[in-house]
Amino acid sequence: MPPPSDDPLTLGQRLVAVLEGGQRVATYKLAVMVALLDLAVENVPEDPDAPVSINLDTLADRVMEGYWRQLRPLDGHDLRQSNDGRGVVFTQITRLREAVTSPRSREVPLDTAALLAPDVYADARLTIKKNLVRYPLKLLQRVGSGSYDCFLYDDSWLGTDSTRVIDAHGNSIELFPGVCHTLARLAPLVKPAFQLAWVEDVRRMNKNLLDDGPDLAHHLFGSDRISLTRPGIALADTFGNACFYCDTTLRSGRHVDHVLPWSRVGIDGLTNLVLSCPACNSSKSDILPATDLVTRALDRGRTTLDDLAESINWPSQFDRVRSAAHGLYLTQPPTTPVWLGAKSISPLGTVDIVWR
Ligand SMILES: [Zn+2]
pLDDT above 60 (res 84): yes
For the chain, give percent helix, strand, coil, nearest 5.
50, 10, 40
Least confident of 192-196, 237-241, 252-256, 285-289: 252-256
How far, in Å, from the CA of 341 to the mean position of ligand 1? 8
CB atoms < 10 A from the CB of 23, how many? 7
Q: What is the pLDDT of residue 3?
A: 52
Q: How far is the CA of 202 from the centre of ligand 1 (A)?
A: 37
The phi, psi pair for 64, rounded to 5°, reads -60, -45
257 CA distance to ligand 1 centroid (A)? 11
Pairing between β-strand 255-258 and β-strand 52-55 as defined by DSSP bridges? unpaired
pLDDT at 72 over 90: no
302 alpha carbon – ligand 1 mean position (Å): 24
Question: Are 228 and 234 within 8 A, CB to CB?
Answer: no
What 3-state class would DSSP assign to 8? Answer: helix
Domain boundaries defined on the chain:
8-223, 228-347
233 CA from centroid of ligand 1 (Å):
17
CA of 29 to the centre of ligand 1 (A): 39
- Of 276, 267, 286, give the one whose Cα is nearest residue 66: 267
Q: How far is the CA of 245 from the centre of ligand 1 (A)?
A: 5
From ligand 1's centre to the CA of 283, what distance in Å? 9
DSSP state of 250: P
**How many whole angstroms separate alpha carbon 275 and alpha carbon 243?**
5
Residue type, 223: S
Q: How far apart are the CA of 274 and the centre of ligand 1, in A?
A: 11
Between the CA of 323 and the centroid of ligand 1 the distance, in Å, is 26
Q: What is the pLDDT of residue 327?
A: 95
Of these ranges, 12-16, 83-87, 151-155, the one predicted with the greatest mean pLDDT is 151-155
Q: Residue 173's beta-bridge partner residues? A: 54
Residues 6+ apart with CB under 8 A from 133: 56, 158, 159, 160, 161, 166
**Is 330's pLDDT higher than 80?**
yes
| Ligand 1 center to 225 CA (angstroms) | 23
Q: How far is the CA of 356 from the centre of ligand 1 (A)?
A: 26
286 Cα: distance to centroid of ligand 1 (angstroms)? 15
Q: How far is the CA of 238 from the centre of ligand 1 (A)?
A: 18
In eight-state DSSP terms, residue 46 is S
Under the banding of pLDDT at 50, 70 and 90, the label for residue 105 is: low
Lowest average pLDDT, out of 2-11, 194-203, 274-283, 293-302, goes to: 2-11
pLDDT of residue 106: 61
Least confident of 51-55, 59-63, 84-88: 84-88
Give the contacts of 96 (CB within 8 A, at least 6 positions apart).
68, 113, 117, 120, 121, 124
Beta strands 255-258; 273-276: pairing state: antiparallel
Q: Output the CA–CA distances (angstroms, integers) from residue 261 to 59, 76, 342, in the order listed.
A: 21, 29, 16
Cα–ligand 1 centroid distance for 304 (angstroms): 23
Give the distance (Å) from ligand 1 centre to CA of residue 214.
Answer: 32
Does residue 338 have a pLDDT over 80? yes
Instruction: Compute the distance from residue 278 Cα to the ligand 1 centre, in Å.
Output: 7
Please state, in angstroms and rounded to a whole number, the distance separating the CA atoms of residues 191 and 193.
Answer: 5
